[in-house]
């Protein structure tokens, strides 16, 4: 379970990007966070993995308050949180397999186990035959598949998706959403999806929160929120 309690984020320039955010995300669900550009969505996911420490409030993941951890404990807990991005953030001078290997190398996973995990995850995302290609040789959808493989290769329990389908064409969006659903089930991973497009959230999320000017203005089941006037 992920609990956000009274999260506030005030940037150095005194801009209040998040104002008293309270949310509970259940294990294994796909939870959506929707809002317009500038609403505070990225700030919120970055607070969840502490890339951007909140100014106040608690981020409780599996019983631990992330805001209270020492930097070494935080490094350990972060391995439990994968992240995917709008522009994929792949390393251009590394092959597909080498990109996916990156988090395993940082964690000093033995080479033989790295290779097995990389092979398994590339099969799951459908890129086995692309493992020695470079990012520049891939389509947008394939690049995001690599991003997803890299994010989940260390078996995290949480996947944060920051506008991961925003740079893709509608057909590709569908296939990436299918893959995320598949990964949610097969790997039993909780997914937090940030999007500004309602279609994306409707397609994949059971529950959703609407954020506006750093505040949650509504939350509930996707069906209720998007079908009632």
Question: Which residue stretch of 19-27, 93-101, 140-148, 171-179 sits at the interface with ligand ADP (rule: CB under 6 A)?
Answer: 93-101
Q: Does 111 bind ligand ADP (CB under 6 A)?
A: yes
Task: Give the range of 94-102, 146-154, 202-210, 216-224 binding ligand ADP by CB under 6 A.
Answer: 94-102
Nearer to ligand ADP, 115 or 174 (CB): 115
**Residue 128 φ/ψ region, left for φ over 0, alpha for ψ in the -120 to 50 degree band, beta for the rest:** alpha
Q: Binders of ligand ADP: how many residues, by CB under 6 A? A: 22
The arrangement of strands across the sheet holding 64-65 comes to 16-25, 2-10, 56-61, 64-65
State yes or no: residue 35 binds ligand ADP (CB under 6 A): yes
Q: Restricting to residues 196-215, which ones interact with ligand ADP according to CB under 6 A?
A: none
Contact between 39 and ligand ADP by CB under 6 A: the answer reads yes
Residue from 2, 4, 17, 177 in contact with ligand ADP (CB under 6 A): 17
Give the nearer residue to ligand ADP in terms of CB position, either 17 or 125.
Answer: 17
Site for ligand ADP in 113-152 (CB under 6 A): 114-115, 118-119, 131-132
Question: Which residues are paired to 86 by β-bridges?
Answer: none
Applying CB under 6 A, the span of 74-82, 108-116, 138-146, 176-184 interacting with ligand ADP comes to 108-116
Q: Of the ranges 21-29, 109-117, 136-144, 199-207, which one interacts with ligand ADP (CB under 6 A)? A: 109-117
Contact set with ligand ADP (CB under 6 A): 11, 13, 15, 17, 35, 37-43, 97-98, 101, 111, 114-115, 118-119, 131-132
């Amino acid at each position: 379970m992920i609990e956000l309690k009274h999260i506030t984020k005030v940037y150095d320039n005194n801009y209040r990007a998040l104002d008293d955010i309270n949310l509970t995300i259940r294990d294994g669900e796909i939870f959506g966070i929707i809002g317009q550009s500038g609403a505070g969505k990225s700030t919120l996911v970055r607070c969840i993995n502490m890339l951007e420490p909140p100014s106040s409030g608690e981020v409780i993941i599996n019983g631990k308050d992330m805001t209270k951890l020492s930097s070494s404990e935080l490094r350990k807990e972060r391995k439990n949180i994968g992240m995917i991005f709008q522009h994929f953030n792949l390393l251009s001078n590394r092959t597909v397999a080498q990109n996916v290997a990156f988090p395993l190398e940082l964690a000093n996973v033995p080479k033989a186990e790295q290779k097995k995990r990389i092979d398994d995850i590339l099969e799951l995302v459908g890129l086995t035959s692309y493992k020695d290609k470079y990012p520049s040789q891939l389509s947008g959808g394939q690049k995001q598949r690599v991003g997803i493989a890299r994010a989940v290769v260390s078996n995290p329990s949480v996947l944060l998706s920051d506008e991961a389908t925003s740079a893709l064409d509608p057909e590709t969006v569908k296939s990436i959403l299918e893959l995320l659903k598949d990964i949610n089930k097969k790997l039993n991973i909780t997914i937090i999806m940030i999007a500004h497009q309602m279609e994306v959230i409707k397609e994949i999320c059971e529950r959703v929160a609407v954020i506006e000017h750093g505040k949650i203005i509504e939350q509930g089941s996707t069906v209720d929120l998007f079908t009632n006037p």
